[in-house]
Amino acid sequence: MESRNVRLDRLEKGGLQVEGLELTVGDIEREELWDEPAGPYHLPGIKDLRRWDHLLLGRYDSSYEPTRDVCDLCTFGPCDLTDGKKSACGLDISGQTARMNLLTTVMGAAAHLSHAREIVEHVIEKFGPDVEIDMGSKNDVEAPMVRVIAGTIPETVGDLLPVVEYCEEEMNHLTSATSTMQEGSPLEFDSKSLHAGMMDNLALEIADIAQISAFDMPRGDEDAPLAEIGMGTMDPEKPVVLAIGHNVAPGTSIIDYMVENGLEEEVEVGAVCCNAHDMTRINPHVNVVGALSKQVKYIRTGAPDVVVIDEQCIRADVLEECRKVGARLVACSGQAVHELQDVSDRDPGDIVEMMVDGEDGVFLPEIEKVGEVAIETARSVYEDRLGRKAIPEVDELQGIIDSCTECGRCDRACPEFLPITDAMVDGMEENGGDWSGLEELWDRCVGCTRCDEVCPVMDPMSVQETASEHRWKTERNVVRTGRGPINDTEIRNVGAPIVLGEIPGVVAFVGCDNYPDGGRSVAEVIRDLAERNYIVLTSGCSAMTAGDHTFEDGQTVYEMFDGRFDKGCVSNVGSCVANAHIVDAALKIANLFANVPLRDNFEEVSDYVLHRIGAVGVCWGVYHQKALAIANGAKRWGIPVVQGPHGVKFRRQELGRPDLDERWVVNDANRDYEEVQIEPAPEHLGYSAESIEEMAVMAVKLCMRPNDTRQGRMIKLTNYIDLYRKYFDEYPSDLARFVRHEKEVPLTEREEVMEVLEDRGWEPRETPNPTMLREEDRLI
Amino acid sequence: MTQAHSPGNVRVKPGADLNGAMLGKLLNRPGTLFLVGSQWKELPDGVLEPLVDGGDVILTGSANPPVEKVARMGVSEACHLLCSEGSLGGEYGQVVFVGIPHHIATGMLSKLKHYSDATAISLDRGFQPDANLAFPNLSREDWEEELGEAVERRSA
């Protein structure tokens, strides 16, 4: 049941004068059960959290990196914005860049929000609105973000609909703000980007708790089962169904049909991208083909008989790629129809017949029919498909490689600037025919096909694929299936050591696989941090990357480390929408460990997270607008994010200025809110690193918080110094800023470090109880 | 016309393509800052030291070449400070990008173009439209030749 708050700032009618009237209508019983005091931000609108945003953006500069010198969004333009010129509407390059960042965030958030609505509606249509929100016996705090933002405890999936509507309303306002001649201030655009990010995070939470509750996905499974991952996991001699996208609804139909008809041994079902995570959360026997970069690569092998697409992260030319190998395409979402014929009103048997007779694809938004159509079509056509593929045969490869003109266009087109031409030249017969460079490239290639678009003589990506055939045909590793929420019980165990700094930090590897140099180094950093007792979380394509690489003993990080939320563990929360649980873990720490009320209490909760919880998000392979939306949401909650070098293409970082002491002044709640100086921690809110080593060092550094105890700071500094020395071969030049007391310097290095610090004029400091808020803004 | 790797940006004021001879002269300007990044090893052996000789060097990313530095920081941090008055902003008239990965360099060069008065030079093998001066897209051999010529001119 929905509850609504009505607020009147001021009402004057006749002789009646009312100020600050607040009424809660409906759902009284539940509200009475929830005795937590309420903060001031119930369903905050586009303007309501500006103060918090301005506090954040007052500490962290928006560093703009424009990707275009012109604006061409209206017919006044294109307008030249170089040399300080303003556009015809009056916007300068900072305003335009901030506006584009907002627009990009809105795109990403809209994808997640649309997904959330579709999942919630699908669940209600299939099971009714009264499906109980059930996050398992270890979770009383079922939906932390809904509690903070909507000030309600959802009991059923139906209760989530009003929250979806609220998000949609806010998203409409945000989209409106990007139109010409609306907002003019870069700072306000940035505030709106953070608001869009918050809407995104809330939508993620709604989508995931709805699907966990309805489809019986793991509810905080601390030992979630392992699933197979890799292009060699599926037997191409059997009928193969490949699901691509993010919305698990069609996937549930495929799994249900397969299981109900006992076809698990006869048919191979696998998925690419987040769908793979969510399908394995329902049935771990589903195969995880891999991250987004494997989409075209796998289709071109010719293995899939039927490709089922839903929404998000689907290539625009997926139908063309399917046609190359004769795979049939089933589109299930209105977001990605590809001009296919709508067959919703036809019987599954008729649709199968159509496709067997040669129809190369259909649009089938009737989710319940998808399983039968996909599997029966695959069973009917797979024998004809065998042997068909869209990559060269091994015995014709040498001739193709020898035809390379060495023009270098492939190198320039490659988003990662990979040395494709060099590998081709090495592979030529006249140079000894060494294909190892092509094999190595296949591992680093992000599967974008831009090299194919520019090459005058061949498809270089397919050449790499044939050259590495023996590798991908046997590629079989393991990924831990998505566990879902972090349990209240786990939070109670680690809340204190995280807040006090004794667990050095929580580092979450999230997002896409647009890696500048392959994914192996990501798995290596994950292993390194887990060995250093960080709590490591993974999600989305990053979680797959972590499972795609093995170490000396043949194990992946999921086999090397436990899946609990605890120090030295590596835990996969699940798909993109499961990213919500990472933010939720921080909110739960604030609530369960420190008793910070969640209800309508955004500012205080985020202030707590920013100053006390050493959590950092890492999106090393950032590519999609959704990654930006997730990151902007995390930043507003007080969780800094480190991105890879491609992150600058989103045009903005939020950089701290450690050299300006006035930026690092907070109120000390232990001393009557007196202003005190703190160290620059966390130093940045949004940061793009140029190399994986820099990312690792920055992630560790950003785990420091002004509230760390001396022992906690010592542990964090030990890791910071150690990684800095490992990668840069010297002491951190900014060490003095983070050492507040001699005892915080690691024992083994104390003498040496103190000598360096004293040379730099270091002086000891106290540890405050830090907040950017005033006493009257806080409930505790 | 030289084609940008990241084709979105329009070079509103077309600059000249860089060559070795021109670079050799430019590097002798006082007030030059070198941002040396994690791909410095891509440079031919023995080229980096004479190239940066006489200028200030900030090491970025995980770069650890055998040259004297004034600081180590992220390229994002360095460029932000270069665009901030009272910090590195205004201190250097010329900023040279060496071994900074192409795509992050693109973003940083755009930032400098819009928010700094410094002249930005890219020694990237791939063309950078947002630099005041950049090599056209060069083969490795041609790139090494141009860098070699720059070193020769400097020492001449």
8 Å CB contact between A512 and A539? no
In a domain, B144, yes or no: yes
Q: Give the pLDDT of residue A731.
A: 87
What is the distance of C-alpha A166 from the center of its chain?
22
% of chain B with per-residue pLDDT over 70: 90
Do the Cβ atoms of A688 and B8 come within 8 Å?
no
Q: pLDDT for A283-303, tens place per residue?
A: 988 999 999 999 999 999 999
Q: pLDDT for A128-158, tens place per residue?
A: 999 999 999 999 999 999 999 999 999 999 9
Pairing of strands A79-80, A70-71: antiparallel
Q: Beginning with the edge strand found earlier in the chain, give each strand of the sheet holding A268-272 in spatial order.
A: A361-363, A328-331, A306-309, A240-244, A268-272, A287-290, A226-229, A477-480
Q: pLDDT for A678-704, tens place per residue?
A: 999 999 999 999 999 999 999 999 999
In a domain, B9, yes or no: no
Burial A349-361 (b: 16+ CB within 10 A, else e): eebbebbeeebeb
Identity of the residue in B87, B100, B126 whose CB atom sits nearest the CB atom of A690:
B100
Mean of the per-residue pLDDT values for chain A?
A: 94
Interface of A with B (CB under 8 A): 61, 63-70, 80-82, 93, 408, 412, 415, 417, 422, 516, 645-646, 648-649, 651, 653, 655, 657, 659, 687-691, 693-694, 698, 727-730, 733
Q: Give the pLDDT of residue B64.
A: 94
- A476 pLDDT above the threshold of 50: yes
Mean of the per-residue pLDDT values for chain B?
A: 90
Interface of B with A (CB under 8 A): 3, 5-6, 8-10, 12-13, 37-38, 59-62, 64, 71-72, 74-77, 79-81, 83-84, 87, 100-104, 106-108, 110-111, 113-115, 126, 137, 139-140
What is the distance of C-alpha A73 from the center of its chain?
28
Q: Which residue of A has its CA nearest to B137?
A: A412
Q: Which residue of B has its CA nearest to A408?
A: B139
CATH architecture, domain defined by A46-215? Orthogonal Bundle (1.10)
Shortest CA distance to A694 belongs to which of A655, A657, A722, A724? A724
8 Å CB contact between A637 and A617? no
- Band of residue A24 on the pLDDT scale cut at 50, 70, 90: low
Identity of the residue in B75, B110, B126 whose CB atom sits nearest the CB atom of A417:
B126
- A2 pLDDT above the threshold of 50: no
**Strand residues in A590-722 grouped as ranges (E):** 615-619, 641-643, 652-656, 665-668, 674-677, 686-688
- How many residue pairs from chains A and B have C-beta atoms closer than 8 A? 116
- Band of residue A22 on the pLDDT scale cut at 50, 70, 90: low
CA distance A661 to A311: 47
Do the Cβ atoms of B106 and A648 come within 8 Å?
yes
Query: In terms of pLDDT, which residue wins out, A780 or A246?
Result: A246
Torsion-angle region of A728 (φ positive above 0: left; ψ -120 to 50: alpha; else: beta): alpha
CA distance A638 to A198: 11
- A25 pLDDT above the threshold of 60: no
Same fold, A46-215 and A479-777: no
% of chain A with per-residue pLDDT over 70: 96
In a domain, B1, yes or no: no
% of chain A with per-residue pLDDT over 90: 89
Residue A243 CA: distances (Å) to CA of A277, A379, A473, A733, A754: 11, 16, 19, 49, 58
Q: pLDDT for A636-653, tens place per residue?
A: 999 999 999 999 999 999
How many beta carbons lie within 10 A of that of residue A277, not counting itself? 30
* Range A112-134 average pLDDT: 97
Q: What are residue A770's phi and psi, to 5 degrees?
A: -85, 140
Q: Give the pLDDT of residue A11.
A: 57
Do the Cβ atoms of A728 and B72 come within 8 Å?
yes
Identity of the residue in B38, B64, B102 whose CB atom sits nearest the CB atom of A729:
B64
In a domain, B129, yes or no: yes
Domain limits, chain A? 1-33, 46-215, 226-385, 394-472, 479-777
- A265 pLDDT above the threshold of 80: yes
- B1 pLDDT above the threshold of 50: no
**What CATH number matches the domain at A479-777, 3.10.20.30, 3.40.50.2030, 2.60.120.20, 3.90.1300.10?**
3.40.50.2030
Q: Number of structural domains, chain B?
A: 1
Q: Which residue in the block uniquely carries the two structure tokens 């939470």?
A: A205
Do the Cβ atoms of A68 and B5 come within 8 Å?
no
**What is the rounded (10 degree) CA torsion for A206, A209, A212, A215?**
-50
- A711 pLDDT above the threshold of 90: yes
8 Å CB contact between A629 and A670? no
How many beta carbons lie within 10 A of that of residue A736, not counting itself? 17
User: To the nearest whole angstrom, how far is the Cα of B73 from the nearest Cα of chain A?
Assistant: 9
Do the Cβ atoms of A415 and B10 come within 8 Å?
no
Q: Amino acid identity of A508?
A: A
CA distance A108 to A577: 12
Q: Give the pLDDT of residue A313.
A: 96
Count Cβ atoms within 10 A of the Cβ of residue A761 and give its class: 0-12 exposed, 13-18 middle, 19 or more buried.
exposed
- B67 pLDDT above the threshold of 80: yes
Structure tokens that stand for A228 in this block:
């197979």
* Range A498-502 average pLDDT: 88
- A173 pLDDT above the threshold of 60: yes
Residue B24 CA: distances (Å) to CA of A303, B14, B18, B100, B133: 55, 21, 10, 20, 13
In a domain, B13, yes or no: no
Q: Give the pLDDT of residue A33.
A: 64
In a domain, B7, yes or no: no
In a domain, B8, yes or no: no
Q: Give the pLDDT of residue B156.
A: 74
- In order, the DSSP letters of A409-474 are HHHHH-TT---HHHHHHHHSGGGT---HHHHHHHHH-----HHHHH-SS--HHHHHHHHTHHHHTT
Q: Which residue of B has its CA nearest to A651?
A: B107
**What is the rounded (10 degree) CA torsion for A570, A574, A577, A581?**
-40
User: To the nearest whole angstrom, how far is the Cα of A410 from the nearest Cα of chain B?
Assistant: 11
Do the Cβ atoms of A69 and B115 come within 8 Å?
no
**Residue A270: its H or E element:** strand A268-272
**Residue A211: its H or E element:** helix A186-215
- Band of residue B90 on the pLDDT scale cut at 50, 70, 90: confident
Q: In the 3-class helix/strand/coil scheme, how is A111-175 assigned residue by residue? A: HHHHHHHHHHHHHHHHHCCCCECCCCCCCCCCCHHHHHHHCCCCCEHHHHHHHHHHHHHHHHHHH
CA distance A240 to A259: 15
In the CATH hierarchy, which fold is given to the domain comprising A226-385? Rossmann fold (3.40.50)
CA distance A474 to A268: 16
How many beta carbons lie within 10 A of that of residue A693, not counting itself? 21
Pairing of strands B56-59, B32-36: parallel
Q: Give the pLDDT of residue A18.
A: 61
The set of residues, in sequence order, having a beta carbon less than 8 Å from that of A771 and lying 6+ positions away, is: A607, A611, A666, A667, A669, A673, A778
Domain of B140 in residue numbering reads as 20-155
Q: Give the pLDDT of residue A761.
A: 82
Helices (H), A345-393: 348-356, 367-385
**What is the rounded (10 degree) CA torsion for A743, A744, A745, A747?**
60
- Band of residue A1 on the pLDDT scale cut at 50, 70, 90: very low
Structure tokens that stand for A647 in this block:
């992150």
The set of residues, in sequence order, having a beta carbon less than 8 Å from that of A752 and lying 6+ positions away, is: none
- Of A126-140, A338-352, A701-715, B2-16, minimum mean pLDDT range: B2-16
Q: pLDDT for A764-775, tens place per residue?
A: 988 999 999 999
Q: Which residue of B has its CA nearest to A645?
A: B104
* Range A663-686 average pLDDT: 96
Q: pLDDT for B130-151, tens place per residue?
A: 999 999 888 889 999 999 999 9
Q: Amino acid identity of A621?
A: G
User: To the nearest whole angstrom, how far is the Cα of A93 from the nearest Cα of chain B?
Assistant: 8
8 Å CB contact between A218 and A484? yes
* Range A161-180 average pLDDT: 98
- A121 pLDDT above the threshold of 70: yes
Q: pLDDT for A354-389, tens place per residue?
A: 999 999 999 999 999 999 999 999 999 999 988 899
